[in-house]
Amino acid sequence: MSDRQALKQAAARAALKYVQSGMRLGLGTGSTTGIFINLLGAKVQRGELHDLLCVPTSEASAQQAASWGLALTSLDHVTALDLAVDGADEVDPDLQMIKGLGWALLREKLVESHARRLIIIVDETKLVTRLGQHVPLPVEIVPFAAMATVRWLQGLASRVELCRTSEGEPVLTDNGNYYVHCYFDDGIVDAEALSPQLNAWPGVVENGLFLNMATQVVVATEDGIQILERSS
């Protein structure tokens, strides 16, 4: 196991202590959250947790959770979630985040907006001083007039790429939309202003800025687990 993989394992394992029997639980998407789902499923199969009702944020997470026998539902059938657990692509000192490079940002944001608590699990490489320093900002857009939307986004970012498969076709989200990556040479100067500006454009469905959402961030470092909490 690589050092990076070991850190992901440590973060996912630390998040398990927040899960209690009887919870309505949001399950995120991505490599670290995938580890969490496996650990959670194993704990349920050992009888250490029971009566969980899970809302997944992607078809992939749904299939993984179902393979462990976890009970699944949707937001249409629950009024609120006790807890959601997910990863992040970048986290800044104020616990603002870029998420969604695993192609699931819309469902992630929708599900996690219904959670009373959102626990984010990352390794220390995901901590940045400014969002957009190391990863692009993902944006989900409608297929209609997609290149027109890309051109509009190019007025806001340093570079914009429509995400494509290895066959050259546009990547399709679970919602049937396209994905673009927006790169910012100097990082995102004002995420609070950029997020509503993006979502106000008719061709944009949702963006990967997750602002003022994380309750706690569980960070796995070489020196152990660090818990970051958002000041209110």
CATH number at residue 170: 3.30.70.260
Q: Would 173 be classed as within a structural domain?
A: yes
3-state SS class at 13: helix
Please provide residue 120's backbone torsions phi and psi, each rounded to the nearest 5 degrees. Answer: -105, 135
The model's pTM is: 0.96
Q: What is the mean pLDDT of residues 165-175?
A: 97
Same domain, 31 and 109: yes
pLDDT by residue (tens digit) across 155-169?
A: 999 999 999 999 999
Same domain, 12 and 84: yes
Same domain, 43 and 116: yes
Say if residue 180's pLDDT is above 80: yes
pLDDT by residue (tens digit) across 42-68?
A: 999 999 999 999 999 999 999 999 999
Same domain, 215 and 199: no
Rounded Cα gap, residues 78 and 92, in angstroms: 31
Q: Compute how many other C-beta atoms are within 10 angstroms of the C-beta atom of residue 73.
A: 12
Number of domains in the chain: 2
pLDDT by residue (tens digit) across 190-232?
A: 999 999 999 999 999 999 999 999 999 999 999 999 999 987 6
Query: By percentage, how much of the chain surpasses pLDDT 70?
Result: 99
Average pLDDT, the chain: 97
Catalytic residue numbers?
Answer: 108
Q: What is the mean pLDDT of residues 26-47?
A: 98
Same domain, 28 and 50: yes
Q: Is the dihedral of CA 85, 216, 231, 197 positive or negative?
A: negative
Q: Would 229 be classed as within a structural domain?
A: no
Q: If 0-12 CB within 10 Å is exposed, 13-18 middle and 19+ buried, where does residue 200 land?
A: exposed
Tokens encoding 226: 């660090």
Rounded Cα gap, residues 209 and 162, in angstroms: 18
What is residue 14's predicted lDDT score, i.e. its pLDDT? 98
What is residue 231's predicted lDDT score, i.e. its pLDDT? 74
What is residue 154's predicted lDDT score, i.e. its pLDDT? 98
Same domain, 197 and 88: no
What is residue 39's predicted lDDT score, i.e. its pLDDT? 98
Say if residue 122's pLDDT is above 70: yes
Same domain, 33 and 90: yes
Q: Would 117 be classed as within a structural domain?
A: yes
Same domain, 154 and 87: no
Q: Is 188 left (phi over 0), alpha (psi -120 to 50) or beta?
A: beta
Instruction: Measure Cα distances from 161 to 151, 157, 183 in Å.
Output: 10, 10, 8
Same domain, 85 and 177: no
Q: Would 226 be classed as within a structural domain?
A: no
Domain region containing 45 = 3-126+211-220
∠ at Cα 129 (27, 115), nearest 5°? Answer: 25
